Amino acid sequence: MADKSATQRQEDGDSAAEISEVGWEVFCKLCLCEQPTTATRELQSCNCVFCVACLQQYVQLAIMEGGGAPITCPDMACQKSGVLLDSEIASLVSEGQVELYQRLSFERGVKLDPSKAWCPVLECQAVCSLQPSTEGQPGAVPCTTCRAVFCSACRGAWLDGHACSEQQPMMSPSHGSRPHGDADLPIKQCPVCGIYIERNQGCAQMLCKSCKHTFCWYCLQNLDGDIFLRHYDKGPCRNKLGHSRASVMWNRTQVVGILVGVSIVVLVTSPLLLLASPCILCCICKPCRAKNKKKKRKKDLSQPDSSTS
């Protein structure tokens, strides 16, 4: 009896060790698989949990295609809109990729900062500070590194009697007032995150790849909740969506059809589920009853054996 109890304790200890090593499983929304907690990582900004392998691939892709933009939580339904910290990025990718991300992030910060500019001299490439000029007109910018002087608008050499071809006020994208000619520009900045977006052709409803913000290309108005695209029915952007009226109506018909179809399915299946609920409960309870009967039989068989011993 002592030997049996010792072996049983050893087996229990081994099973407990295996459970502690494996741990509880967590569902990863990226690979759609359950992973042990030892192979997962929790983001500090939003507390979302993903497996380490998926996070590594996601961060590598975000560095290569994000252009230095902040790496957000890969969960599209994240309520906190978490952003990965620099320490988390460094622990998921190699040192070379971390240096690449820091360089791209710095270059993006210079591009988005209206008070900074790159020196146009190829051998220099220093960051120069732009001094605000009168009425927002271009002015001379001296480089403290190579001593070159260039125009703040066209980046050309500043000479006596310089005539810049871009005689327009220099304005930050955060300002509300914009020139009327900006509607035809091929490159604009996202009104939320400020990343540069180029539109070659197609629809005027734009989706920012960095912050997933939907907006109108012409007036930069928010279109996140406009599923029927009513913004292009009136106002200055009327009939500027880039699609024909028939295609817009067909899109709206599809959206309405999907909503109506889902509601019909819910209305039809709800009474059927109520009628079938007793059968479902019986089917669920039958295996439970069979298991309970088997347990009672085992207990009844084990009781006479213990009495004889």
Q: What is the pLDDT of residue 288?
A: 59
Mean pLDDT of the chain: 75
CB neighbours (10 Å) of residue 242?
A: 15
Tell me, what amino acid is at 77? Answer: A
Residue 225: is its pLDDT beyond 70? yes
Active site residue 203: yes
Residue 57: is its pLDDT beyond 90? yes
- Residue 72 class from Cβ within 10 Å (0-12 exposed, 13-18 middle, 19+ buried)? buried
Q: Which of 46, 78, 164, 203 is catalytic?
A: 203
What average pLDDT does the segment 231-248 reach? 77
Residue 138: is its pLDDT beyond 60? yes
The answer to whether 92 touches 52, Cβ cutoff 8 Å, is yes
Residue 125: is its pLDDT beyond 60? yes
Pairing between β-strand 214-216 and β-strand 116-118 as defined by DSSP bridges:
unpaired
What residues have CB less than 8 Å from 90, skipping those under 6 apart?
98
